[in-house]
Amino acid sequence: MPGTPVIAFDAGGTKLLGGAVDGDLEVSRRVRREWHGGDRDDVIDTMVEAVEDARADASGACAVGFGIPSLVDVERGVSVQSVHLPLDDVPFRELMEKRLELPVYVDNDANLALLAEQHGGAARGANHAVMLTLGTGIGGALLLGGRLYRGQAGAAAELGHMTVDLDGPPCQGSCPNRGCLEALASGRAMGEVGGRIAEAEPESALGRALAQGVPITGELVTTLALDGDDAARSALAEIGRRLGAGLVSVVNVFNPEVVVIGGGAARGGDLLLDPARAVVRERALRPSRDARIVPARFGEDAGMLGAALFALEEGGA
């Protein structure tokens, strides 16, 4: 298996990350694409072009694995509904297999990130685990009794869309809800909180960035927080407390051994997670409050590596 490459991609709301991956999860060629808007055909075309780029140095690739931010009917390979991409009711596997002339395996992106973390990361050895991926939105995945739980229609574990504030802000994309965890604690929410704090603290590094016309994004907030800016750290802490409020419900419902936090917005590490842990310790029921809350070992690569594992396992490579 180590010598048998697959092509694997993790799609998010604003980016596509992937490459050629072997059975030891070594990535021989990395490919990244950014996207902002576009219709279904634009998204599919970008994915096909990225796969062909990754295949250039991966002769003999036997399959393609995709993690997409969508409710996925895994048996049929259909993207049922996506909040962030125009992939509602799309026969994704069929379309991709026709374009790529390779077997294609597709699942929800957070499910595949947890698969990677179970295989050799922060959830290794766990029978009961939860994963939240913090990016443009918030994805969720569940490991129950050692197996991924997808629900009866592939729509389980959409933890980013649980309500944490009944009268909160409207959620993103096509989600009809208000006050979702995603609306309050995603990377996009981090940028919104950072912008508010930047206005209130113009002498901070965050405030100076705003004055210079730099977009206040979750990525910028995290970078400045890691560099020691107190204003950016305040923003990260606020998002961490909001995340913790959502995690209280998660651990009370599922009583996991470990909660893995992944995605680009989790780059803040303990600056984000310590406030979340504090809220869980204060508000969760015993013994669920003892669940470990840890960063993903594979970071932003978790979804890509999980897509590779999925393709290798389902394809029998």
Q: What is the pLDDT of residues 5-37, one digit of tens each?
A: 899 999 988 889 999 998 888 898 899 998 877
Tokens of 48: 């096909």
DSSP 61: -
Task: Please provide residue 312's backbone torsions phi and psi, each rounded to the nearest 5 degrees.
Answer: -65, -40
State the helix-helix crossing angle for 187-200 and 230-254, rounded to 10 degrees: 140
Tell which wins on pLDDT, 256 or 3: 256
Task: Please provide residue 303's backbone torsions phi and psi, each rounded to the nearest 5 degrees.
Answer: -65, -45
Handedness of CA 99, 104, 107, 109 (dihedral sign): negative
Q: What is the mean pLDDT of residues 218-227?
A: 96
Q: What is the pLDDT of residues 41-69, one digit of tens each?
A: 999 999 999 999 998 876 778 899 999 99
Give bridge partners of residue 79 from the DSSP assignment. 72, 90
Domains present along the chain, CATH in parentheses: 6-113+301-315 (3.30.420.40), 125-296 (3.30.420.40)
Q: How far is CA 198 from CA 18, 185, 228, 229, 297, in A?
A: 34, 18, 15, 11, 31
Q: Of all residues in the chain, what percent carry a pLDDT higher than 70?
A: 97
Q: What is the pLDDT of residues 77-128, one digit of tens each?
A: 999 999 889 999 999 999 999 999 999 999 999 999 999 999 999 999 999 9
At 233 the pLDDT is 98
